[in-house]
Amino acid sequence: MNLSIRTKFTLGMIFLFLIILVLSIFSAFYLNKLSKKTGAILKENYLSVVYAREMSEGLTNINQEITNCFLMNKYSDSLFIKKELNFVHNSLELEKNNITEPGEDKLVSDIESGINEYCDSVAKFIESPHQVDKVLYLQKKSGIIYQQLVLLSQINGKAIEVKTDDAKVSSKNALTQMTILGTFCFLIAFSFAFSFASYFNERFFQLYNGMKEIGSNNYDQRLYFQGKDEFYEISLVFNEMAEKLNKNKQKMSVTLQEDSGKDNSSNDLQELKRALVRIKSIEEQTIELISKLEKK
């Protein structure tokens, strides 16, 4: 199959573009894979830790309010307690929709039951705030819930460590694979670019030298290019031009030799004519001299 230079150049650019495209696709694949892993850690486990901390803070704030009111023998701030309870319930609902680890659903169910009982006890305490047994019960119940929330944080914290290690291993594997693929593609692209450049450089160098030889009147110079592309056509035109110039040079040499012979013959004739004129002049002078001698 004979391809033109333009076609070869276009195919070469398409080939390099395909190599870049392959690298881009694999890079996007591995980046997307790592992004999903890290995104899962953030969405699934880190948020569970945050929700557990928020519920712990809410329960701590309520216990402090209840304890302070009991010690100072005053009524508790029901609006503040209600606000903190709503905050705890919101965090609990978010955690119920973010269960990912084994056993987490059972633990969250127990936490929900404990928080509901705790809320009922808080409501009773607000109605009669000066009963020691209720305060002690709330402290005990909140301690149990707090331990459950700590366990919830530990489960998700451990999952974060495991998934982070897995993401590190995946990133190392991806880096190794991308390094191998990138090196392989680089070697292919470099080999192709070197061959492509050598192909054109060699032909341009031969064409340059051929034109230089023709400019130095060396009409025996010829170009020989393999293939059927534009360089081959240029070599045919160049060789035809050199052949014509060589023939014209030979014809001019013959013509100059003939003209030189003609010039030599013309010069001989002129010399002969001048010699004859001189001989005739000498003859006339000799006749005059003889006539004078006879008269004497």
How far apart CA 8 and CA 200 sit, in angstroms, is 11
For position 5, what pLDDT does the model report? Answer: 66
What is the third-level CATH fold of 5-190?
Four Helix Bundle (Hemerythrin (Met), subunit A) (1.20.120)
Of 199, 224, 189, 194, residue with least CA distance to 209: 224
For position 110, what pLDDT does the model report? Answer: 92
* DSSP-derived secondary structure letter, 228: S
pLDDT higher than 70, residue 15: yes
At 226 the three-state DSSP class reads coil
Are the C-beta atoms of residues 95 and 108 closer than 8 Å to each other? yes
Mean pLDDT for 197-208 is: 78
Q: What is the pTM of this model?
A: 0.54
Q: Which value, in Å, is the radius of gyration of the alpha carbons in the chain?
A: 55
Length of the chain: 296
Are the C-beta atoms of residues 54 and 91 closer than 8 Å to each other? yes
For position 113, what pLDDT does the model report? Answer: 92
How far apart CA 226 and CA 51 sit, in angstroms, is 75
Distances (CA, A) of 148 to 45, 56, 116, 151: 16, 10, 14, 5
Of 181 and 242, which is predicted with more confidence? 181
Q: What is the pLDDT of residues 112-157, one digit of tens each?
A: 999 999 888 888 877 776 677 778 888 888 889 999 999 998 988 8
pLDDT higher than 70, residue 37: no
Structure tokens at 105: 């659903």
For position 289, what pLDDT does the model report? Answer: 52
For position 290, what pLDDT does the model report? Answer: 47
Are the C-beta atoms of residues 29 and 255 closer than 8 Å to each other? no
Q: Locate the domains of the chain by residue range.
A: 5-190, 217-296
Are the C-beta atoms of residues 163 and 45 closer than 8 Å to each other? yes
